[in-house]
Amino acid sequence: MSVISSQQVDELKASLSTSALVLTPESEGYDEGIKRWASSAEKPAALAVFPTSAEDVSKILQFSTANSLDLAVCGGGHSTGGSSSTDGGISINLSKMRKCVVDVESKTVSIEGGALWKVVDEALGKHGLAAVGGTVNHTGVGGLTLGGGYGWLTPKYGLTIDNLLSVELVLATGEIVTASATQNTDLFWAARGAGSGFGVATNFVFQAHEQKNHVWGGMMLFPPSQLREVFEASNFLTESDKEGKSAHGVGFVSPPPTFDALVAVMVVYNGPEEDGRKFCEPLLSLKPLVEHTSSMPYEKVNGMVNDLMPFGLRRSMKGSACLFPISIPLAEEAFQDYLKFKTSVPDAAGTMVLFEPISPRKILEVPQTATAFANRGKYFNVLFSSTWTQKENDEVCREWGREMAKKMDEFLRKGMAAEGGSWGGDGVGQYANYDSFSEKGEVMFGVNFPRLKELKRRYDPGNVFGKGLNLLG
């Protein structure tokens, strides 16, 4: 890798628009430029560059390639695996590209590639509209969309990518293209699930949906002695919602100040409080220790737990999947494993496990091979999210997530084998956006991998966008 001279830095600056920024480690604002949600994912870039247009991005890519620099692209900065950071290379920070324009008539929204979901939720909320975005809305539209995207509205409208109408991409050559159902269709297919391996997405257009009514929901906490009843209630809710009006997550958390382990449920019901309470009666009748629920406009719902997920801690995420209904012995065993881990690594007290039994009905309306994303099946995601503070615990905390995901995966495969094909066929059983970047491309993309590999060779043979999964095979 070459070293960048100050003359080259000046040349890069001169080629960009005046509103763009190029920061070296000595510049004011550089530390903010390489900051990520997980402090363990931060790396010292040689240059942190803040473009303000697709043309700027194109110039930066050409500069990076000409100087054989490592390249990282940062949207919202939530990758815990470090895929949006570079050690000694050029970091494209898209935080100056967050414009969001709503077209009320067509109910569509056009969003720049560095936007956060909060911006989108608020812009759409003003018009009684909503998009399928992330449930913690300081996450980036970029990373979440390009890897698939699940949200509270997924039971009703599918994945984020199932609502994507077009994406503007700056390719490895610097060429700026639009990909949609009618333009650059190969790239549009690849962008929906494996997008970060194909270019820098500088703009997205999504279909939004009418969302005039308030929704009801929030968090409930229960003592571990009620684990069985809570998971039974969770299974009941999933089974009884035939219209996709609700979604919930159930798992284990250890909130401050005591950091005692509790069973948590986050629920959202798309309707009035009265109906939501009636629907959640199996949970509410268990008399949660804590109930933080309320009726709110949809634009608020994805901000409910933002403060519980702050920037600045060391973090890792690892995903797996689970068949419906959640096996109670499996949940009990996962809880015992969770307790053991917290005892053996007290620094990791803030760790969380989340079962996300989101109905896949709408997701399964799109065939597995219609998009590069290959995690469509009659199952749901499970997230192991370790949180800690000391660098010396990095490996043990990351390894715990990997081990737990492996265990969950073995259970999943056994269940799938027992059910024959009735679980849904060819889904890979793992969400790549839960930082599965150490996995092989074929594991994460299954039946779609051969086509993906071919497209990667065509559009990015030099693996300029190589920080995520290995798509070259």
Ligand X SMILES: Cc1cc2nc3c(=O)[nH]c(=O)nc-3n(C[C@H](O)[C@H](O)[C@H](O)COP(=O)(O)OP(=O)(O)OC[C@H]3O[C@@H](n4cnc5c(N)ncnc54)[C@H](O)[C@@H]3O)c2cc1C
For the bound state, the minimum distance from the C-beta of residue 83 to ligand X, rounded and expressed in Å, comes to 3
Q: Which two tokens stand for residue 360?
A: 């896949």
Q: Of 421-460, which residues contact ligand X (CB under 6 A)?
A: 433
Rounded CA separation 417/422 (Å): 9
Q: Residue 239: how many CB atoms within 10 A of its CB? A: 12
Contact between 147 and ligand X by CB under 6 A: the answer reads: yes
For the bound state, the minimum distance from the C-beta of residue 386 to ligand X, rounded and expressed in Å, comes to 12
Q: Of 272-291, which residues contact ligand X (CB under 6 A)?
A: none
For the bound state, the minimum distance from the C-beta of residue 93 to ligand X, rounded and expressed in Å, comes to 9
Contact between 51 and ligand X by CB under 6 A: the answer reads: no
3-class SS at 447?
A: helix
For the bound state, the minimum distance from the C-beta of residue 467 to ligand X, rounded and expressed in Å, comes to 5
Contact between 155 and ligand X by CB under 6 A: the answer reads: no
- SS in 3 state form for 233-287? HHHHHHHHCCCCCEEEEEEEECCCCCCCCEEEEEEEECCCHHHHHHHCHHHHCCC
How many helices (H) and strands (E) the chain has is answered by 15, 18
Among 33, 75, 357, 466, binds ligand X (CB under 6 A): 75
CB 436 within 8 A of CB 83: no
Contact between 309 and ligand X by CB under 6 A: the answer reads: yes
Burial 361-375 (b: 16+ CB within 10 A, else e): bbbbebebeebbbbb
Q: Which two tokens stand for residue 473?
A: 């095979």
Stretch that binds ligand X, among 5-13, 70-78, 206-214, 396-404 (CB under 6 A): 70-78
Rounded CA separation 309/42 (Å): 17
For the bound state, the minimum distance from the C-beta of residue 406 to ligand X, rounded and expressed in Å, comes to 20
Stretch that binds ligand X, among 130-138, 184-192, 232-240, 282-290 (CB under 6 A): 130-138
Q: Output the DSSP codes for 100-152.
A: EEEETTTTEEEEETT-BHHHHHHHHHTTTEE----SSTTSBHHHHHHT----T
Contact between 77 and ligand X by CB under 6 A: the answer reads: yes
Contact between 149 and ligand X by CB under 6 A: the answer reads: yes
Site size with ligand X, rule: CB under 6 A: 32
For the bound state, the minimum distance from the C-beta of residue 229 to ligand X, rounded and expressed in Å, comes to 26
Contact between 135 and ligand X by CB under 6 A: the answer reads: yes
Distant-in-sequence, close-in-space partners of 454: CB < 8 Å, separation ≥ 6: none
Q: Fill in the per-residue mask, 388 to 417: x = in contact with ligand X (CB under 6 A), - = not in contact.
A: ------------------------------
Among 139, 226, 238, 320, binds ligand X (CB under 6 A): 139
Q: Which two tokens stand for residue 464?
A: 């300029």
Residues that bind ligand X (CB under 6 A): 37, 73-79, 83-84, 94, 113, 134-136, 139-140, 142-144, 146-147, 149-151, 196, 200-201, 309, 433, 467-468
